[in-house]
Amino acid sequence: MLHFRMDMPFYLMALYGSVMIVLVLMLRGLLKNRLPGFVFPALWGMVLVRLLVPFSLSSPLSLPIVPEDPFEKEEFFEESIARDSLTENVQGHLEEGTINRGAINNAYFTNSGNVMEDKVEAAVSIEVQKGAAEGGFPIFAGWQNLALFIYPIGLAAVIGILGWQKYCYSRKLKSGLLMENNEIVNSVLRSMEMGHILVFTSDEIASPMVCGLMNPRIYLPTRMDFQDKELLGYIFAHEIMHIRRRDNWIKAVMLVVLSINWYNPLVWIMSKCLSADLEAACDGAVLRKCGEEGRKEYARSLLAMAVTGGRAALLYSAFSKTEVEKRIKGILRYRKATAFALLFSILFMAGSAIVFATGGQAPFSSRLSSYCAGGYSRWGVRASIVRDIALGKDAQERAEDVIFSVLRTDDTEDPAVIEAALREGLAEEFGVEKGAFAIEISLCLSQEEIQEEYRVWEITQGEDGFWLYQGEQIRVYQDRMLGSFQSREEGKADITVERDKLGRIVAVTVLRQGDEEFDRRTREIQDQRQRLRY
């Protein structure tokens, strides 16, 4: 299932485009002399589309991305303590067969105010991190404001420079004379079936070039020998190839992308490589029609018409001396592409298009279901999606129906089996691949069940709601599979409850003062407390 959207943020377009540029540059360095000339201009075209069009295409081939806010789980301490403070009301929900994690949290907050007071410092720490992540502090806002101030200045400067260059070249070309009465020029163009193309000559230019988008024209320097029909033939063959391939349109799009991404050095590198690859592609197209002797004569025409510098390279399609040596070497070692090379090129481009098109996604909400649990299973489940998918109406309700159906019918209590069944059920319900879903499975036990398990390992619960180990106050407690976590400023030990894949406790790791890890955590807590004071 494909899902197409047009809302990708600018920063993601720039990021994914930059990654694509790096990949194409690597491929270009490895395969440039082994693939037909049209391959790399086509790949650069894909990069231009990525940098210019805010599309997001999600498919089963897309890289799995869960744009999860690290602070989306507000239950950092809320939800986990709630599990240890289940009320009779929540127990009733369990017996009825359904429960929502929000209900657990509400039950906790209405019955455990004393624990909440002990967690104020942890909450402050979380809010500090959350504020930083959202760019809510002055230092982050300052950088953002600075970028918003500098970007339009750079954009205006680049547009101004490129516009001035365009204006200067346009003024030079205005003095050109139409060669409508040159029979040699007209005969060469007619032989190429391009007699409608206008040809001008100008003493302001030193190299042949194509100018214009809607009505492209060819400009020739007045120093040329217009009696040399063979030379004119090669020059026109090259320039007409630019016209047929719409290279000036590609360069116009490149200028727009370059202006928008003026701050990105990779885009400037791409602009230079794109110009060179367009010339190489035209050379290859012309050479396919030439014999061995024709290649030498074509190389001679390059030498005769090349000029120093390449300022017009981004504006027009023109001969440039900066690339002549590379182009002549390519011409002399040119070999017609074999059928295998052509097939590989087509497959290579098709594969690249799929990867580049579906490799980046705009942010989307990964939420699919709420936290679902029932008295008939010791496991709770929450489902999310890993790529942007159009799931239709009532997606959450349908997903939760699948989840509860699997939990009711499962008799293995094995989370791996439950996850496989959930993926299969969700994939069938929504008509997408199984890998489109992320399944979060955690233990969901009643207060009595937890206390009974912990009592065997000498873990009991104090009147304030915090766990004790061997009757002593615990500083940090966590039971990862249960999704439970507690912390307080002081305590005699840090404990971690370890469970097997079926959720049974197999060990309890205890750290006390004097243990290296315990002392390291103590220093971190002290450093964090010190930073918060300032």
CA separation for the pair 187, 180 (Å, rounded): 11
Domain check: are 419 and 516 in the same one? no
Instruction: Tell me if 402 is assigned to some domain.
Output: yes
Q: Which of 71-85, 175-189, 449-463, 484-498 has the lowest mean pLDDT?
A: 71-85
What's CA 69's distance to the chain center, in Å?
A: 16
Question: Strand 199-202 and strand 217-221: pairing?
Answer: parallel
Domain check: are 439 and 457 in the same one? no
Helix residue spans in 134-212 (DSSP H): 138-174, 183-191
Residue 211 backbone phi and psi in degrees, to 5: -130, 145
Q: Which segments of 330-488 are extended strands (E)? A: 372-373, 379-385, 437-443, 459-461, 467-469, 472-479, 484-487
Domain check: are 186 and 318 in the same one? yes
Look at 79 and 402; give whichever has higher pLDDT: 402
pLDDT at 99 over 70: no
Instruction: Tell me if 41 is assigned to some domain.
Output: no
Give the pair of three-digit tokens for residue 336.
Answer: 């017609």
Residue numbers of the domain that contains 266: 175-333
Domain check: are 132 and 197 in the same one? no
Residue 505 backbone phi and psi in degrees, to 5: -70, 125
Position 414 confidence tier, pLDDT thresholds 50, 70, 90? very high
Domain check: are 421 and 467 in the same one? no
Domain check: are 184 and 319 in the same one? yes
* Structure confidence at residue 331 (pLDDT): 57
Q: Which residues contact 380 (CB under 8 A, 6 or more apart)?
A: 99, 101, 371, 372, 373, 441, 442, 443, 444
**What average pLDDT does the segment 22-50 reach?**
85
CA separation for the pair 184, 144 (Å, rounded): 61
CA separation for the pair 324, 392 (Å, rounded): 57
Q: Which segments of 8-89 are extended strands (E)? A: 56-58
* Structure confidence at residue 293 (pLDDT): 64
Domain check: are 105 and 123 in the same one? yes
Domain check: are 413 and 317 in the same one? no
145-180 pLDDT tens trace:
777 889 999 999 999 998 898 888 888 888 888 887
* Structure confidence at residue 425 (pLDDT): 94
**What average pLDDT does the segment 198-204 reach?**
85
